[in-house]
Amino acid sequence: MPPGMKLDLFAHPFSSYCQKVLIALYENATPFTFRLLGPDDPVTFAEFAAIWPIMRMPLLIDGRRRVMESTVIIEHLGIHHPGPVRLIPADPAAALEARMLDRFFDNYVMTPMQKIVGDHLRPEDERDPRGVADAHDLLETAYRWLKAHLDGRTWATGRSFSIADCAAAPALLYADWVHPIADDLAPVRGYRARLLARPSFARAVDEARPYRPLFPPGAPDRD
Ligand SMILES: N[C@@H](CCC(=O)N[C@@H](CS)C(=O)NCC(=O)O)C(=O)O
């Protein structure tokens, strides 16, 4: 029995962590209300900030439950609003693998990508060249690990689309914009292309297209 009749997602379409959760919602056609966190709506933003002073989106409201952190939101959806696509595998060992890879994409692709993007928002004299250089190194190492990991796999864990792919899709979309995936990493480029072709992510990418001019380092003229 779902804990709440109505789901509200505080989010922005261009945000990578919000896209991660949007993929999960779209995979199972889960109905929800999109509470857009934009500069034109200070009331919605104030509501969000009052609930979650950490102010990192997305935030899910499910009845009286407030669920923060993209990974936990996807876990919550799987428990309380399951659909035909199981993003956390039923087998515990397979679930652990999916969770491990979700951590890989958040910590070693999304985080360095955000570091590079975020540096562009800083005033010139507050930039962090060393931190940005470390972020580029980490992305390169992560791409190369992923190339070997993907051998024989369609999706991050193998044949089934999972929470790890929800994390991977926006992480690799934007990471490739700030640190292009080299030509010799064909399996990683191919995986990114498969993610972009997945209808749930294609929809999220299309919904975010109008915001591309806002990408701090400048968005390339391609997906
Ligand atoms: N660990 C969080 C990270 C969320 C996060 O970093 N969200 C970004 C948008 S992609 C955000 O809210 N940034 C606003 C800010 O840094 O002020 C999660 O998984 O949900």
What is the DSSP annotation of 7-41?
EEEEE-TT-HHHHHHHHHHHHTT---EEEE--TT-
Residue 155 pairs in a beta bridge with: 158
The C-alpha atoms of residue 135 and residue 114 are separated, in whole angstroms, by 9
- Pocket mutation for ligand 1, best pick of 36, 56, 70 (most atoms within 8 Å of C-beta): 56
Q: What is the pLDDT of residues 17-63, one digit of tens each?
A: 999 999 999 999 999 999 999 999 999 999 999 999 999 999 999 99
Distance set, CA 143 to CA 138, 188, 197 (Å)? 9, 7, 20
Pocket, ligand 1, Cβ cutoff 6 A: 15-17, 55-57, 69-71
Identify the burial level of 29 via C-beta atoms within 10 angstroms of its C-beta, where 0-12 means exposed, 13-18 middle and 19 or more buried: exposed
Q: Say whether 68 sits in a helix, a strand or coil.
A: strand
The reply to whether the predicted model has a pTM over 0.75 is: yes
Residue 21 CA, closest ligand 1 atom number: 20
Alpha-helix residue ranges (DSSP H) falling in 85-198: 92-105, 111-119, 129-149, 163-178, 186-197
Residue type (1 letter), 178: V
Residue 30 pairs in a beta bridge with: none
pLDDT of residue 120 exceeding 50: yes
pLDDT of residue 3 exceeding 70: no
Structure tokens at 68: 């923060």
| Residue 133 pLDDT level (bands cut at 50, 70, 90) | very high
Please tell me the least confidently modeled range out of 5-9, 19-23, 70-74, 157-161.
5-9
The two beta strands, 65-68 and 33-36, are unpaired
Q: What is the pLDDT of residues 148-198, one digit of tens each?
A: 999 999 999 999 999 999 999 999 999 999 999 999 999 999 999 999 999
Q: What whole-number percentage of the chain has pLDDT above 90? A: 98
Q: Are 68 and 57 within 8 A, CB to CB?
A: no
Residue 15 CA, closest ligand 1 atom number: 10
Residue 2: predicted pLDDT: 55
Q: What whole-number percentage of the chain has pLDDT above 70? A: 98
| Residue 1 pLDDT level (bands cut at 50, 70, 90) | very low
Residue 57 CA, closest ligand 1 atom number: 12
Of 135, 119, 10, the residue nearest 66 (C-alpha): 10
pLDDT of residue 67 exceeding 50: yes
Residue 4: predicted pLDDT: 54
Residue 197: predicted pLDDT: 98
Of 189, 166, 186, 165, the residue nearest 176 (C-alpha): 189
Of 120, 105, 101, the residue nearest 178 (C-alpha): 120
Q: Which residue, by CA, sits nearest to atom 11 of ligand 1?
A: 56
Residue 164: predicted pLDDT: 99
